[in-house]
With several copies, the nearest count.
Chain A
Amino acid sequence: MTVRVQTEDFDAGAEIGALSSAEPGAIPGAVVSFTGLVRDRHGGKIVHAMTLEHYPGMTEKELMRIRDEAMARWPITKATIIHRVGRLLAADQIVFVGCASPHRDAAFEAARFMMDFLKTDAPFWKAEETEDGTQWVDARDSDNAAAARWSKD
Protein backbone atom coordinates (compact mmCIF):
# COMPACT_ATOMS: atom_id res chain seq x y z
CA MET A 1 0.00 0.00 0.00
CA THR A 2 2.39 2.60 -1.22
CA VAL A 3 2.10 6.04 -2.74
CA ARG A 4 5.39 7.85 -3.24
CA VAL A 5 6.50 11.07 -4.93
CA GLN A 6 10.29 11.12 -5.19
CA THR A 7 13.27 12.41 -7.14
CA GLU A 8 15.13 9.05 -6.97
CA ASP A 9 14.70 6.26 -9.48
CA PHE A 10 12.71 3.11 -8.53
CA ASP A 11 13.25 -0.62 -9.06
CA ALA A 12 10.20 -2.04 -10.88
CA GLY A 13 11.26 -5.62 -10.01
CA ALA A 14 11.45 -4.83 -6.29
CA GLU A 15 8.02 -3.16 -6.45
CA ILE A 16 6.53 -6.24 -8.19
CA GLY A 17 8.13 -8.38 -5.46
CA ALA A 18 6.54 -6.23 -2.74
CA LEU A 19 3.13 -6.43 -4.44
CA SER A 20 3.49 -10.24 -4.69
CA SER A 21 4.13 -10.80 -1.00
CA ALA A 22 1.19 -11.76 1.21
CA GLU A 23 0.12 -13.54 4.37
CA PRO A 24 -0.08 -17.35 4.08
CA GLY A 25 -3.26 -18.33 2.25
CA ALA A 26 -3.48 -15.01 0.42
CA ILE A 27 -0.80 -15.18 -2.30
CA PRO A 28 -2.24 -13.18 -5.23
CA GLY A 29 -2.21 -14.96 -8.59
CA ALA A 30 -1.71 -11.80 -10.65
CA VAL A 31 0.51 -8.72 -10.51
CA VAL A 32 0.19 -6.09 -13.25
CA SER A 33 2.57 -3.15 -13.56
CA PHE A 34 2.86 -0.06 -15.73
CA THR A 35 6.23 1.65 -16.06
CA GLY A 36 6.36 5.02 -17.82
CA LEU A 37 9.55 6.28 -19.43
CA VAL A 38 10.73 9.69 -20.63
CA ARG A 39 10.40 9.46 -24.40
CA ASP A 40 13.29 10.85 -26.41
CA ARG A 41 11.11 12.15 -29.24
CA HIS A 42 7.83 14.07 -29.04
CA GLY A 43 5.95 15.85 -31.80
CA GLY A 44 8.83 15.27 -34.20
CA LYS A 45 11.43 16.84 -31.88
CA ILE A 46 14.29 15.23 -30.01
CA VAL A 47 13.73 15.47 -26.25
CA HIS A 48 16.87 15.53 -24.12
CA ALA A 49 15.30 15.86 -20.71
CA MET A 50 12.21 17.02 -18.88
CA THR A 51 11.40 18.59 -15.57
CA LEU A 52 8.43 17.39 -13.56
CA GLU A 53 6.79 19.97 -11.30
CA HIS A 54 4.06 19.02 -8.84
CA TYR A 55 1.84 20.37 -6.06
CA PRO A 56 3.23 18.91 -2.83
CA GLY A 57 0.45 17.81 -0.53
CA MET A 58 -2.28 17.73 -3.15
CA THR A 59 -0.29 15.27 -5.29
CA GLU A 60 -0.08 12.63 -2.57
CA LYS A 61 -3.74 13.21 -1.67
CA GLU A 62 -4.86 12.70 -5.29
CA LEU A 63 -2.68 9.62 -5.73
CA MET A 64 -4.10 8.08 -2.54
CA ARG A 65 -7.63 8.90 -3.68
CA ILE A 66 -6.99 7.20 -7.05
CA ARG A 67 -5.48 4.14 -5.38
CA ASP A 68 -8.34 3.91 -2.84
CA GLU A 69 -10.91 4.20 -5.61
CA ALA A 70 -9.21 1.35 -7.53
CA MET A 71 -9.18 -0.79 -4.37
CA ALA A 72 -12.89 -0.08 -3.82
CA ARG A 73 -13.82 -1.03 -7.38
CA TRP A 74 -11.75 -4.21 -7.86
CA PRO A 75 -10.65 -7.05 -5.55
CA ILE A 76 -7.02 -5.99 -5.39
CA THR A 77 -4.84 -6.93 -2.45
CA LYS A 78 -2.12 -4.29 -2.84
CA ALA A 79 -1.50 -1.27 -5.02
CA THR A 80 1.53 0.94 -5.54
CA ILE A 81 1.90 4.32 -7.25
CA ILE A 82 5.31 5.96 -7.56
CA HIS A 83 5.89 9.19 -9.48
CA ARG A 84 9.21 10.91 -9.91
CA VAL A 85 9.66 14.70 -9.89
CA GLY A 86 12.51 17.04 -10.76
CA ARG A 87 14.73 16.82 -13.84
CA LEU A 88 14.78 13.50 -15.70
CA LEU A 89 16.73 12.49 -18.80
CA ALA A 90 15.35 10.77 -21.90
CA ALA A 91 14.77 7.02 -21.23
CA ASP A 92 14.56 7.57 -17.46
CA GLN A 93 11.69 5.94 -15.60
CA ILE A 94 8.99 8.47 -14.58
CA VAL A 95 6.10 6.53 -13.12
CA PHE A 96 5.25 3.09 -11.74
CA VAL A 97 1.72 1.86 -11.12
CA GLY A 98 1.14 -1.72 -10.01
CA CYS A 99 -1.38 -3.88 -8.25
CA ALA A 100 -1.91 -7.46 -7.14
CA SER A 101 -5.13 -9.46 -7.23
CA PRO A 102 -6.41 -13.02 -7.14
CA HIS A 103 -7.85 -12.30 -10.63
CA ARG A 104 -5.91 -11.19 -13.69
CA ASP A 105 -8.80 -9.17 -15.16
CA ALA A 106 -9.08 -7.17 -11.94
CA ALA A 107 -5.32 -6.57 -11.85
CA PHE A 108 -5.26 -5.35 -15.48
CA GLU A 109 -8.31 -3.11 -15.07
CA ALA A 110 -7.25 -1.58 -11.76
CA ALA A 111 -3.75 -0.77 -13.05
CA ARG A 112 -5.16 0.83 -16.19
CA PHE A 113 -7.73 2.77 -14.15
CA MET A 114 -5.01 4.15 -11.86
CA MET A 115 -2.89 5.25 -14.83
CA ASP A 116 -5.86 6.88 -16.59
CA PHE A 117 -6.77 8.96 -13.53
CA LEU A 118 -3.17 9.73 -12.65
CA LYS A 119 -2.93 11.27 -16.16
CA THR A 120 -5.97 13.54 -15.67
CA ASP A 121 -6.14 14.21 -11.91
CA ALA A 122 -2.71 14.09 -10.27
CA PRO A 123 -1.14 17.58 -10.24
CA PHE A 124 2.09 17.03 -12.17
CA TRP A 125 3.33 19.17 -15.06
CA LYS A 126 6.03 18.32 -17.58
CA ALA A 127 8.39 20.83 -19.18
CA GLU A 128 10.32 19.25 -22.07
CA GLU A 129 13.80 20.26 -23.19
CA THR A 130 14.16 19.96 -26.95
CA GLU A 131 16.43 21.55 -29.57
CA ASP A 132 13.96 24.48 -29.53
CA GLY A 133 14.34 25.13 -25.81
CA THR A 134 12.13 24.25 -22.87
CA GLN A 135 8.36 24.02 -23.29
CA TRP A 136 5.45 23.07 -21.08
CA VAL A 137 3.72 19.97 -22.44
CA ASP A 138 0.06 20.43 -23.38
CA ALA A 139 -2.58 18.17 -21.87
CA ARG A 140 -4.11 15.73 -24.34
CA ASP A 141 -7.80 15.25 -25.09
CA SER A 142 -7.16 11.51 -25.42
CA ASP A 143 -6.26 11.38 -21.72
CA ASN A 144 -9.59 12.91 -20.73
CA ALA A 145 -11.36 10.42 -22.98
CA ALA A 146 -9.42 7.55 -21.37
CA ALA A 147 -10.48 8.62 -17.87
CA ALA A 148 -14.08 9.19 -18.98
CA ARG A 149 -14.47 5.55 -20.03
CA TRP A 150 -14.47 4.48 -16.37
CA SER A 151 -17.47 6.62 -15.42
CA LYS A 152 -20.32 4.49 -14.13
CA ASP A 153 -23.04 6.79 -15.49
Chain B
Amino acid sequence: MRIMYFAWMREHIGASLEQIDKPDHVTTVADLISHLRGVSAGHALALSNMEVVRVAVNQNYTSLDAPLNDQDEVAFFPPVTGG
Protein backbone atom coordinates (compact mmCIF):
# COMPACT_ATOMS: atom_id res chain seq x y z
CA MET B 1 0.00 0.00 0.00
CA ARG B 2 0.97 3.64 -0.42
CA ILE B 3 0.84 5.61 2.83
CA MET B 4 0.96 9.40 2.52
CA TYR B 5 1.39 12.10 5.16
CA PHE B 6 0.88 15.86 4.88
CA ALA B 7 1.70 19.05 6.79
CA TRP B 8 2.86 18.52 10.39
CA MET B 9 2.24 14.76 10.17
CA ARG B 10 4.74 14.60 7.30
CA GLU B 11 7.24 16.56 9.45
CA HIS B 12 6.79 14.26 12.49
CA ILE B 13 7.24 11.15 10.36
CA GLY B 14 10.00 12.60 8.21
CA ALA B 15 8.53 11.35 4.93
CA SER B 16 5.60 12.20 2.71
CA LEU B 17 5.28 8.70 1.25
CA GLU B 18 5.84 5.15 2.50
CA GLN B 19 5.32 2.02 0.42
CA ILE B 20 4.51 -0.99 2.60
CA ASP B 21 3.13 -4.49 2.19
CA LYS B 22 -0.14 -4.70 4.07
CA PRO B 23 0.34 -7.05 7.07
CA ASP B 24 -2.31 -9.78 7.14
CA HIS B 25 -3.76 -8.65 10.45
CA VAL B 26 -4.43 -5.14 9.04
CA THR B 27 -7.94 -5.17 7.58
CA THR B 28 -9.20 -1.67 8.50
CA VAL B 29 -7.86 1.87 8.79
CA ALA B 30 -7.88 1.47 12.60
CA ASP B 31 -5.68 -1.66 12.28
CA LEU B 32 -3.27 0.23 10.03
CA ILE B 33 -2.97 3.05 12.54
CA SER B 34 -2.14 0.57 15.36
CA HIS B 35 0.47 -1.01 13.10
CA LEU B 36 2.03 2.33 12.09
CA ARG B 37 2.27 3.58 15.69
CA GLY B 38 4.79 0.77 16.26
CA VAL B 39 7.02 1.76 13.36
CA SER B 40 8.80 4.74 14.96
CA ALA B 41 8.49 7.41 17.65
CA GLY B 42 7.65 9.89 14.87
CA HIS B 43 4.80 7.70 13.65
CA ALA B 44 3.52 7.28 17.19
CA LEU B 45 3.60 11.05 17.75
CA ALA B 46 1.94 11.88 14.42
CA LEU B 47 -0.83 9.36 15.03
CA SER B 48 -1.24 9.93 18.78
CA ASN B 49 -4.42 12.02 18.64
CA MET B 50 -6.86 10.88 15.97
CA GLU B 51 -9.16 13.84 16.79
CA VAL B 52 -6.84 16.01 14.71
CA VAL B 53 -6.16 13.51 11.95
CA ARG B 54 -8.20 13.02 8.80
CA VAL B 55 -7.97 9.86 6.72
CA ALA B 56 -8.51 9.39 2.99
CA VAL B 57 -8.43 6.04 1.18
CA ASN B 58 -7.88 6.27 -2.54
CA GLN B 59 -8.35 10.04 -2.25
CA ASN B 60 -11.77 9.87 -0.58
CA TYR B 61 -12.41 10.85 3.02
CA THR B 62 -13.16 7.80 5.10
CA SER B 63 -13.62 6.60 8.68
CA LEU B 64 -11.50 4.42 10.97
CA ASP B 65 -13.56 1.27 10.33
CA ALA B 66 -13.13 1.42 6.54
CA PRO B 67 -11.71 -1.83 5.05
CA LEU B 68 -8.30 -1.79 3.37
CA ASN B 69 -6.58 -3.85 0.73
CA ASP B 70 -3.02 -4.03 -0.46
CA GLN B 71 -3.52 -1.78 -3.50
CA ASP B 72 -4.94 1.13 -1.53
CA GLU B 73 -3.50 4.62 -1.22
CA VAL B 74 -4.04 5.73 2.37
CA ALA B 75 -3.43 9.36 3.35
CA PHE B 76 -3.22 10.86 6.85
CA PHE B 77 -3.38 14.60 7.32
CA PRO B 78 -4.51 17.32 9.74
CA PRO B 79 -7.79 19.22 9.28
CA VAL B 80 -7.41 21.32 6.15
CA THR B 81 -6.63 25.05 6.24
CA GLY B 82 -6.73 26.26 2.64
CA GLY B 83 -8.78 29.03 1.07
Interface residue ranges, A against B (CB under 8 Å) = 36, 52-55, 57-58, 61, 83, 94-95, 115, 118-127, 136-139
Interface residue ranges, B against A (CB under 8 Å) = 4, 6-8, 10, 56, 59-61, 75, 77-83
Q: Pick the contact of A119 from B4, B7, B83 — CB < 8 Å?
A: B83
Complexed CA–CA distance, A120 and B80 (Å): 6
Known: A53-B6, A55-B4. A95 touches B82 (CB 8 A): yes
Known: A53-B7, A123-B77. A118 touches B59 (CB 8 A): no
Contact assessment for A124 and B81 in the assembled complex, using a CB-CB cutoff below 8 Å: yes
Minimum Cβ distance to chain A for residue B54 (Å): 8
Cβ–Cβ < 8 Å partners of A94 in chain B = 82-83
Contact assessment for A125 and B81 in the assembled complex, using a CB-CB cutoff below 8 Å: yes
Cβ–Cβ < 8 Å partners of A125 in chain B = 6-7, 77-78, 80-82
Contact assessment for B82 and A54 in the assembled complex, using a CB-CB cutoff below 8 Å: yes
Cβ–Cβ < 8 Å partners of B10 in chain A = 53
5 A-B residue pairs with CB within 8 Å: A55-B59, A58-B75, A118-B82, A125-B7, A125-B82
